[in-house]
Structure 1
Amino acid sequence: MLHVPASHGMTLPLPHLYERVARHVPPMEWEIISGDIQAILDLKRRRNAILLAHNYQSPEIFHTVADIVGDSLALAREAAATDADVILLAGVHFMAETAKVLNPDKVVLIPDEKAGCSLAESIRPEDVLALKAKYPGVPVVTYVNTSAAVKAVSDVCCTSGNAKKVVEALGVPRVIMIPDEYLARNIAAQTDVEIISWHGRCEVHERFTPMDIAEIRDIYPDVTVIAHPECPPDVVAASDFSGSTAEMVGFVADKRPARVALVTECSMGDNVAVHYPEIDFVKPCNLCPHMKRITLSNIRRALETMGPEVTVDPALLPGARLSVERMLAIR
């Protein structure tokens, strides 16, 4: 095992990986977690496994063991293209379900089956069918933050990064957009298409308020505020830019603000900061309790035991896959 001298006199394992997370992981903690990291790297090779990690995963996962990182759209695209035998999703359950929908013959693992999502839990297939009955002929645009069962009775999926494009690509005057109420309202403000929304909300983003933004600006007058579109519309209006996690990364990379506040899940700022040490990231963030159920130790255990394995009812696969593939076809 490779070692490198640390500033405090210790030698640290896996120095090429520690360099990526040194700002966020103390040397003593690295000594503890590096065994799991090495084991995960070895297990991935043995299993021909690919590890997909969402932007909200903590830096020690995101920057050391993940093969592909990104937002829900990026992970869906990679899941559709991979030739790995095993897909491990370091994220929440609906993401792993989406990977399984796109790869029904592959083994898809999630380290903790309880890693859920308030949006996915806010709507059921029967709710979608009731909306279709109430608004006959109006297409249903379903956020990927939903179960496979909901996707199966929808027309097309979207992410926060491509929602406007998906809505307008349908070429209709009105759509049903579920389940995130705030995302729907924020997209409605950007398009002439009438949007019928649902009352689901993200438990991370719904807690942000305009007062939070005002307080950040009082403390840091030069701050650039970037909000996720799952935030309430008045929070988005008080920000300088709003976009998906991938669009947040793109904005930072392009504009290089001296100081930035990412109004989203806490690990997002940590992961972006690794690439831009010259930028001051202030943290008006909230933790996602579901994302934080994923750890190095349970990733290792999942690869060791090949479980928990994610399954999808075969009867749901055709409809769910069609909804996702329609989204992926829209560029």
Structure 2
Amino acid sequence: MSILQTMTNGIPETYKQMSTEELETRVRDVKARLGSRLFIPGHHYQKDEVIKFADAKGDSLVLAQLSAQNKSAEYIAFCGVHFMAETADILTTEEQSVYLPDMRAGCSMADMADIHQTERAWEILMETFGDTILPLTYVNSTAAIKAFVGEHGGATVTSSNAEKMVSWAFQQKERILFLPDQHLGRNTAFNLGVPLDQMAIWDPIQNKLVHEGSIEDIKVILWKGHCSVHENFTVANVQSVREKYPEMTIIVHPECSHEVVSLSDMAGSTNYIINAIENAEPGSSWAIGTEQNLVNRIIGEHSDKHIVSLNPYMCSCLTMNRIDLPHLAWSLESIEKGETHNIIKVDQEIAQKAKLALDRMLQS
């Protein structure tokens, strides 16, 4: 039998045939044998079968920072998606190796802005507006986009510090280009007092600026990208909850559309949502607009509260769910054997420029 015939979705077929009990035993055994040499960061959106083995849970940037701070960890098995593992590689040392248990674990939002589209857009925007624009990128972007932003004086942002970083950017230049999530950019700028009619959209497919009115009035240029999960929360979902549970507090992630955020009671990062529920009074009622794995976990951890998903038909993040227990077990056993499967390594020049963007955020 050929190697290709023995592989399913990048891992040997035998791992797909193992019982949950055997897979969990294998994961625990590798963790015990490698000890502090192994670090497993797990993003909040991971499946329960994976997150239970994480040494740390959090958002992408926090996990990358924790990986960098853990100097004893030689092997970092990042349970998240590709751009998160890239950020971890950028921030960690040459002595540390970052692995992604399944290379298919990507991010549709990050993929909506590639470097070639961005460079073409920048050339046109410079011709249109001159040197009046500072680029910002959500950390949910590729290393190449982070490097582009770093090279042009900009910075990365998170959903937690977006308002702070947009305010910082406006102190540097008259306008900003916000990549790759239009919704986070729009919601953040609006909260800071920028009216919607002073925001334009850059369409990378049409390779043009979309705006009604005078271009001289444009302050924010939003890349036409979005989170495939959070864009599925709709105004109809909000209206349905208001009708069915009029006492319920609606809390959503700022990657949701501006219309949904505007109609909700609260909006904030993943950690903001988690903390809000943890600090809420027993018996309180909540509708949460974010990724379903996390919503289900929050529901399970807070039986003293009435919690539902804002969209009852919401699916989990499909790419995040690529990492499952068989992939994790295979990845860890491969690491222990010294095999070099699924190592994430960012080109040194790109990493240096991307780190400029990350450092400007961390130092602001």
Q: What does 1:1-331 align with in structure 2 at a 5 Å threshold?
A: 32-47=19-34, 48-62=37-51, 64-83=52-71, 84-105=73-94, 106-133=96-123, 134-135=125-126, 136-154=131-149, 155-170=154-169, 171-172=171-172, 173-192=174-193, 194-256=219-281, 258-283=284-309, 284=311, 285-306=314-335, 307-330=341-364
2:301 is paired with a residue whose SS is coil
So what's the TM-score if we normalise by structure 2?
Answer: 0.77
Which digits, 9 at most, give the CA deviation of each residue in 1:43-70, with x for residues without a partner? 13433211111111122322x2011111
Q: 1:296 corresponds to which letter in structure 2?
A: L
Contact 2:155–2:357 (CA under 8 A) maintained in structure 1: yes
Separation in 1, partners of 2:304, 2:81: 31
Q: Which moved more, 1:31-40 or 1:183-192?
A: 31-40
* Closer, same or farther: CA 163–278 of 1 in aligned 2, 3 Å: same
Deviates more, 1:129-138 or 1:267-276: 129-138
What amino acid does structure 1 have at the position aligned with 2:238?
I
Unmatched 5+ stretches in structure 2 = 1-17, 195-218, 336-340
Tell me, yes or no, if the aligned pair for 2:50 and 2:324 is still in contact at 8 Å: yes
Letter in 2 for 1:35: E
CA RMSD of aligned residues (A): 1.9
The normalised TM-score by structure 1 is: 0.85
Deviations 1:81-111 (A, max 9, x none): 1221111111111101111111251111111
Question: How many Å separate the matches in 2 of 1:183 and 1:131?
Answer: 20
User: Which amino acid letter does the alignment assign opposite residue 310 of structure 1?
Assistant: I
2:98 aligned partner, one-letter code: V
Q: Aligned to 2:167, what secondary structure does the other structure show?
A: helix
Q: Which moved more, 1:125-134 or 1:51-60?
A: 125-134
Query: Separation in 2 of the partners of 1:102 and 1:263?
Result: 31
**The residue matched to 1:222 in structure 2 has which SS?**
coil
Listed as ranges, the gaps of 5+ residues in structure 1 are 1-30
- Residues 205, 286 of structure 1: 8 Å contact kept: no
SS at match of 1:100: helix
Deviation at 1:183, TM superposition (A): 0.9
Structure 1 pair 275/328, CA: closer, same or farther in 2 (3 Å)? Answer: farther
Q: C-alpha deviations, 1:154-196, integer Å up to 9, x for none?
A: 1211111111111112323422111101111111111146322
CA offset digits 1:211-234 (Å, max 9, x no partner): 011112222222211111111111
Contact 1:59–1:270 at 8 Å: present in 2 too?
no
Shift of 1:255: 2.6
Partner Cα separation in structure 2 for residue 44 and residue 309 of structure 1: 18
Q: For the Cα contact (< 8 Å) 1:149–1:316, is it kept in 2?
A: yes
Is the deviation greater in 123-132 or in 245-254?
123-132
Structure number with larger C-alpha Rg: 2
| SS class of match (1:153) | helix
**Aligned-partner Cα distance in 1 for 2:47–2:242:** 26
Aligned to 1:176, what secondary structure does the other structure show?
A: strand
Relative distance call for 1:326 and 1:103 in structure 2 (3 A) is: same
Q: Which amino acid aligns with 2:25?
A: Q
AA paired with 2:135?
V
CA contact (8 A) 1:226 1:239 kept: yes
Structure 1 contact 73–161 (Cα < 8 Å) conserved: no
Distance 1:37 1:137, change over 3 A: farther
Identity over aligned residues, as a percent?
34
Aligned length: 299
